[in-house]
A and B are shown apart, each in its own frame.
Chain A
Amino acid sequence: MSLIHGAILNCLITQQKKIIVTTRRALTLRSKRGLHSEAAKVFSTVRMATTTGLESLVDQIISVITNDGRNIVGVLKGFDQATNIILDESHERVFSTKEGVQQLVLGLYIIRGDNIGVIGELDEELDASLDFSKLRAHPLKPVVH
């Protein structure tokens, strides 16, 4: 299943909040093409994702920490089982010890799952209460496997 395909499937699912119904639709669509076993796989993945996946975060603002230590904030538009994600209206927050947090506008981004460390649900109220111009910190270290 391709990234975009999966992401779109997940978008659909979450927007409609009718996980089983949508999956059944996907099942019928796929069985028409003779993809029974793959559909069954998708079904089990999606069912499991109801508790562990990222669908509760779709259309919410999330903060992503990447393996190279960057912090990217944006609206989650889609994801798949490899944690590849689609971020809309995203920006990077650059931490430094010399000046406050800089924000770099990035726009629409796809981040490959391999490079993702943490996905945090951003609490907008908490976020608005922070004064980023005064916040100073070392950038996060890259992930070392």
Chain B
Amino acid sequence: MDSLHRRIVALADLHGRTRESLLPILQGVVEHENYLSQKSMVEISKELDLPAAEVFGTATFYSFLEHRKMGKFTIRVCKTISCSMKGKNQILLAIKEMLKIDIGQTTPDGRFSLVETNCLGWCHKAPAMVINHEVFTELTPEKVREILGEYLKKEL
């Protein structure tokens, strides 16, 4: 039994093996693996006795359940109207320049992935972004560089 399989069994033990447990299990895998590989989705389908297509169909519906390989820290920059008006593009530019990646890409060391996302619910403190689940608001390019600097110090 490899570690992924063990993780999925543990998640199924925790949340149950009914269809209703599927989302919490998918979320649990993303929490640890950063994304849902095909292998993990197949393993989950076996564990819950569901068709793999059902698992794949559900997983790909939700934007936070990434199914492409992602870095340890996924940066999601809000692109909806208020953030877009208040300088989202400068924020993106600062991130791209600092990490040398484009939207949809991951740094070669697997530390950061950069994506855009829809309304995060911080319009009064725009522009906003989340890194995994941590929220950052009222961003400026300087502030972004500082935040990423802190994340660069974290262990991989």
Say whether A associates with B: no
